[in-house]
Structure 1
Amino acid sequence: MRQGTGGTAAIRVRAAGIALLAAHLLVVGWLTLRPLDVPWMTAANFEPLAGIRADLALGPLEAAHRIGEGLLLLAPLGVLLPMAGGRLAVSPWASLARTVAAGALISLGIELLQTGVPGQVVDVDSLLLNTVGVTLAHLAVVPVGRARLRRRAGVPARTPRLPDESSQGTTPSISRVRVAP
């Protein structure tokens, strides 16, 4: 069920989600895709977790700062994507899978676009951290928010619908087809 069927408040929530999503993506694009004037650049990192290990070697404060940046950059997508989608009664696992896949694809797109931007370096650990950030934000906020909105709107949680006899109808028959002897 879409939020739009619940009234004007639900429509406003969805519209706010779309507007905030667009604003967040513009800020992320500006932060990650603007050319940087740097005297030297590190090589691209295609080895998973190598950058995180290097960050941890710098000390706990610097590691927390760098890893936190990676986790927080796309984390709002974990909330904004379901909010903009507008579904209240949906499987939690399907919602999580859709949101994480979309977050990972957006992160991958950013990393691919960075290959052509001067001063920006591709890092596979950014992709991993961004995706984990989206996942954690979704798990922390969306199930509780949906439950609260469902209670407020009086919408039951998603339950599997079993077919009953009234929805089945009659079996169609063709008059010239007969049962074989």
Structure 2
Amino acid sequence: MRQGPRGNPAALRIRTTGALLLVAHLALVAWITLRPLDVPWVPTPNFHPFAGIKADLALPPRDAARTIGAGLALLAPLGVLLPLAGGKTAVSPLASLLRTVTAGALLSLGIELLQTGVPGQVVDVDSVFLNTLGVALAHIAVVPAFRARMRRRTETARRAAALRREESTLTPTPTIPRVGIAP
């Protein structure tokens, strides 16, 4: 359920914060992935699915974990920030996951396409897979629990407001003043 400007002010603050963090994260991703690099040589682009991941797994475990982890972590915050900026609490978990993962995959693909014109940056189809998987994992790990918590808080606030309204509409019981006996 989406709260309007006159609805829940906490929901509006959360959506605004989510949107601002989303813009900041996308600016950081653009700076990391689309700035020209001054390198003496550039490897060939990787258009073979999972070839780069296999090559990374052939590295020592620490280097492989760092390389694959970087691919997973680059767009992972989108898995949380996109639903947060949307501000819906009552939504199908599967539909939310599909929308978020699709947006993450399209953004990753767009970055890879833009990298074709950036000196020093190399196109790698495995980056699209890893970035999309990172978005999905972050979404699954955080969003359902966060939405459940927000629904509970909204419901508690709604009940408290209803109770206050009910208490304010009740009229006090009339009292009859005691009359004393005359001397």
Q: TM-score, normalised by structure 1?
A: 0.84
2:18 maps to: 17
CA offset at residue 59 of structure 1?
1.2
Structure 1 residue identity aligned to 2:141: A
Where do 1:28-177 residues align within 5 Å? 28-154=29-155
Instruction: Give identity over the alignment, percent.
Output: 70
One-letter identity of the residue aligned with 1:107:
S
- Aligned residue pairs: how many? 155
Counterpart residue identity of residue 87, structure 1: K
State the secondary structure of the residue aligned to 1:130: helix
| Higher CA-based Rg | 2
Taking the aligned partners of 1:51 and 1:59, their CA distance within structure 2 comes to 14
Matches of 2:2 and 2:51 in 1, distance apart?
42
- Within 2, Cα distance between the matches of 1:139 and 1:70? 18
User: CA separation in 1, counterparts of 2:108 and 2:3?
Assistant: 27
Paired residue type of 1:48? P
How far apart, in 2, do the equivalents of 1:3 and 1:125 lie? 39
Task: Report the CA distance between 1:23 and its aligned residue.
Answer: 0.1
Aligned counterpart, 1:8: 9
Q: Which amino acid aligns with 2:29?
A: V
Matches of 1:84 and 1:19, distance apart in 2: 8
SS in 2 for 1:154: helix
Q: Specify the code of the residue in structure 2 equivalent to 1:98.
A: R
Deviations 1:121-160 (A, max 9, x none): 00000000000000000000000000000000018xxxxx
- Gap regions ≥5 residues in structure 1: 156-181
In the aligned structure 2, how far is the partner of 1:55 from the partner of 1:133? Answer: 17
Q: TM-score, normalised by structure 2?
A: 0.83
Note the residue ranges of structure 2 that are not aligned, 5 or more in a row: 157-183
Classify 1:138/1:3 alpha carbon distance in 2 versus 1 (closer, same or farther; 3 Å). Answer: farther
- Following TM superposition, the consecutive aligned residue runs of length 4 or more in structure 1 with deviations greater than 4 angstroms are none
CA distance in 1, matches of 2:28, 2:50: 26
